[in-house]
Amino acid sequence: MVWKTNTHAEGWLKLDATHKLLAQVALEPNWRSNDNEQLTLACQLLLGKLRDIHVALYRLETEYARAIGGPKQHHAVMLASPVLQTLSAEVKRYAQALQSEPDSIPAIDSRLSQLMIDMQQGSVGIEAFRNRSLLLRIGELVALFRSVPGWPDDNKRNVSGV
């Protein structure tokens, strides 16, 4: 797994810019309707969840860097890799559905539950269990992604504002 430099700061800048844009849109006179207020609330909830995920990713990066640098942590990293790869694929699938079919966004969980169980069972009684913080950070991130709110039903909202 390769981490890009400056992505943490770039992520905060993008989240901040998105939050400011949402605030500007919400203040537009033509935007104020009950349906659009629900959409604004949904966007605010999603942005809040993204902030939590961003913090959790930073924590995971730190733990992962520690684990990958330690010679005794190889097994923990090997246990974590399938979960992280699956999580990445699930998030990409979610993002693609959000862009192409917002009415039928899949949950971010299809295979993660079993992989988390496998990872935890694989760590019991071995050297990987000593790096419990890496496994806990992964569990925290998976739980946050599972709690990403669903998108409002398209039939119940008016995004035109006109």
Dihedrals φ, ψ of 82, to 5°?
Answer: -60, -35
Check if the beta carbon of residue 64 is closer than 8 Å to that of residue 142: no
Distance CA 39, CA 16 (A): 19
Distance CA 83, CA 74 (A): 15
pLDDT category of residue 131 using cuts at 50, 70 and 90: low
pLDDT category of residue 159 using cuts at 50, 70 and 90: very low
| Cα–Cα distance list, 113 to 64, 78, 107, 135, 159 (Å) | 21, 17, 12, 14, 35
Scanning the structure block, which residue is given the tokens 């942005």?
A: 47
pLDDT category of residue 157 using cuts at 50, 70 and 90: very low
- pLDDT value at residue 63: 86
pLDDT, greater one: 131 or 104: 104
Distance CA 22, CA 109 (A): 28
Closest CA to 109 of 88, 87, 92: 87
pLDDT category of residue 124 using cuts at 50, 70 and 90: low
